[in-house]
Amino acid sequence: MADGASSSGAASASGPGGGGGGESVVIDYGRRRTACGYCRSTGQTSISHGLWANSLRADDYQALLDRGWRRSGCFLYKPEMERTCCPQYTIRLKANDFICSKEQGRVLKKMQRFLDGELDPQVGSPQNKTSPTKHSLAEPMNLPVSKISKTLTNDFQAAKCPNLFEEDEFISCLSSKINEAVGMSFQVGTLGSDVQLPKAVVKTVKPQLKKKVGGASQDKKVGEAVQDLLYTCNISFQIVAEIRRALPKEKDANHNEVVADISPNSIAEKLAMTMECHGDIAGLAVKACNGHLNFYSVTNQTKQNKTSIIVSTHAPDKSSSSKQSSVNKNTVRVPQKRRKLEIKMRRSHFDPEEFALYQRYQTKVHKEKKVSESSYKRFLVDTPIVFLPPRSGDNTVPPCGFGSFHQQYRIDGKLVAVGVVDILPKCLSSKYLFWDPDFAFLSLGKYTALKEIDWVKTTQEHCPNLQYYYLGYYIHSCNKMRYKAAYRPSELLCPVRFEWVCYDSAKRLLDKSLYSVLSDFAQIQDEMPQPQNSHLDTELSKNDNCESPIDEDDEDLSYDDSDMMVDEEMVRSESNTDVMEDCSSIIDFENVMMDLNGSRVKYKDLLGVVGRIERRHLEQLERQLSKYVKVVGKELSDRMVYSL
């Protein structure tokens, strides 16, 4: 990719290969400098090569992917790894080797429960994600009684019989219940737009830890209730951290008063009171202890059955207790209406329904004030990849063909998510996802990724070569992008030798230096390589200090940001001096094919066809071609056409 290119370039390819389907034509290439959206740098520290493409064969784009390129609409870009502030490594997964984690399994189960009618759509909905105010933190709650437990009645009643539901299902429901309590406790106004209240993570308390926190069964007389600590949650500490981070910097009396009232213990007590006052918690007693929310079972020593849980969260009157007991004994699940999920792969084109969903997503989730139809088309509809339809009896092309697609997810006919993907000879390349904010509780970012992996597995039966799932770029310096490594076992692309290296080996190198020649991983057994860019380590420590751990929804949002929307004005040329510094090594560009008014001419024959060319123009062209061959690769540059 030439720097400082004063002329436009175009390339076409018509060589053989599974990608077929026309020519590859790329134009207007150069280096791009922008502010970084990952480390939030103030200067133009993100540096990458870029080119515009009119058309690309699927196999040519596959080859570019395997050299570290990605696309945003018709714009292709490749980070200049040695110089950019946040090196971005192409990451992929072999679908048949994928190991579904426990958390990913929960996402699949949650969706299935929702489709079966067992999960209320309001649980974890955005309406519950409200922010606290100074007033609400300093004063006792005077909130109207809310049916906090009603949405999870079936789930918590089923949890009383461990044989019916797995424990992780119960924990997931309990986490949702805490999130409801958080929403209720801080629903009066907002503290500020910067406040992002965390989601609850409930953990099982191991037996060896119970005595340390005073939650082990205590000696009592026969017949008395004994409390046994089962679960704990530290969300109060996370809430305090977020609130303090959002408080104004000015030090005044009100500020000091608010800060004094903010503590994990006070927030834990508020949450415990909310949960006790507004609903049954499946026989668990909730208490605030040193800032933690602890959940205890209330058992009876006269009973030896350790699995029995007696409903007793607060002291109701005798009549209600008797009535509740009667209800519990005769609880029967009322069959719920099942929902229908449809997933359809459609060729990339403008769809008003999809655009309306994209507008909602960008304004609600990413807080964009204005979303234009033209920017949407440039970003997610326009594609340079030439569509190649399936051929009868040909097992090299999948049933949908090669090209760019929008994978629609509909629930009972309603469009809830759209995944923008490229189907290529070796992979499904995931580019972007947007979804209905009302369905955020379903973790659609994770769910659609899992379904895309399943798609590759299924398609491989018809097209054996298509076996990989590309997740975009992995950025080790950005905590919110590291979740991609959770899709195991993944591989990262070496930026120098373009070899694939397993993530676990690559991570050991990246922990030491953000830019690493990943194919040198064999050397880590003896000596870790020294950082090649010291300023990158500074950026890493800065990110580690300012980034907080992501929650489930954050992961979905980060996944969506894996590919940037690129506008024309983002393409910039640099000085010829910079070009000369980058092209110090000798690169063979004699066989690069160029287009001269429709005629194909190799560079080595250029003078014979054109005649005399001024030396300065010839030197500039040689610099352009040298960089072009270096970043695109010899194989591609030999079969592509560079247009003057």
Least confident of 395-399, 490-494, 564-568: 564-568
Contacts from 183-186 at CB under 8 Å and sequence distance 24+? 183/127, 183/128, 183/129, 183/130, 184/141, 184/143, 184/146, 184/148, 184/274, 184/278, 185/132, 185/136, 185/141, 185/143, 185/267, 185/270, 185/271, 185/274, 186/130, 186/131, 186/132, 186/133, 186/136, 186/137
Structure tokens at 413: 């006919």
* pLDDT greater at residue 626 or residue 466: 466
Position 606 confidence tier, pLDDT thresholds 50, 70, 90: confident
- In whole angstroms, how far apart are CA 92 and each of 40, 95, 153, 559? 26, 9, 41, 14
Q: Hey, where are the domains in the chain?
A: 23-116+340-523, 591-641
pLDDT of the residue at 24: 73
Q: What is the mean pLDDT of the chain?
A: 74
Which pLDDT tens digit goes with each residue over 189-210? 444 555 677 888 888 887 766 6
pLDDT of the residue at 459: 95
Which pLDDT tens digit goes with each residue over 334-386? 556 899 999 999 999 999 999 999 999 999 999 999 999 999 999 999 999 99
* pLDDT greater at residue 220 or residue 438: 438
Of the candidates 203, 200, 197, 199, which has an alpha carbon nearest to the alpha carbon of residue 215? 203
Cα-Cα-Cα-Cα dihedral sign, residues 538, 542, 544, 545: positive
Least confident of 143-147, 341-345, 394-398, 510-514: 143-147
Structure tokens at 89: 């490594």
421, pLDDT greater than 90: yes
541, pLDDT greater than 60: no
pLDDT of the residue at 81: 92
Over residues 311-338, mean pLDDT: 47
Over residues 114-121, mean pLDDT: 86
Position 142 confidence tier, pLDDT thresholds 50, 70, 90: very low
Q: Which residues of 108-135 are buried (b: 16+ CB within 10 A; e: fewer)?
A: bebbebbbeebbbeebbbeebbbbbbbe
* pLDDT greater at residue 236 or residue 436: 436
Position 106 confidence tier, pLDDT thresholds 50, 70, 90: very high
Which pLDDT tens digit goes with each residue over 57-88? 999 999 999 999 999 999 999 999 999 999 99
Please give the share of the chain, as a percent, with pLDDT higher than 70: 64
* pLDDT greater at residue 640 or residue 87: 87
Structure tokens at 448: 């659609």
Relative to beta strand 25-34, strand 46-55 is antiparallel
Position 610 confidence tier, pLDDT thresholds 50, 70, 90: confident
- In whole angstroms, how far apart are CA 349 and each of 73, 434, 455? 12, 16, 21
* pLDDT greater at residue 111 or residue 134: 111
pTM for the model:
0.64
* pLDDT greater at residue 286 or residue 30: 286
Q: How far apart are CA 281 and CA 157, in angstroms?
A: 9
Which pLDDT tens digit goes with each residue over 551-589? 333 444 334 444 445 444 444 444 333 444 444 457 888
Asked if the peptide bond before residue 489 counts as cis, ω within 30 degrees of 0, the response is: yes
What lies within 8 Å, CB to CB, of 200 at 6+ separation is 175, 176, 178, 179, 182, 233, 235
445, pLDDT greater than 70: yes
Rg (CA), the chain: 29
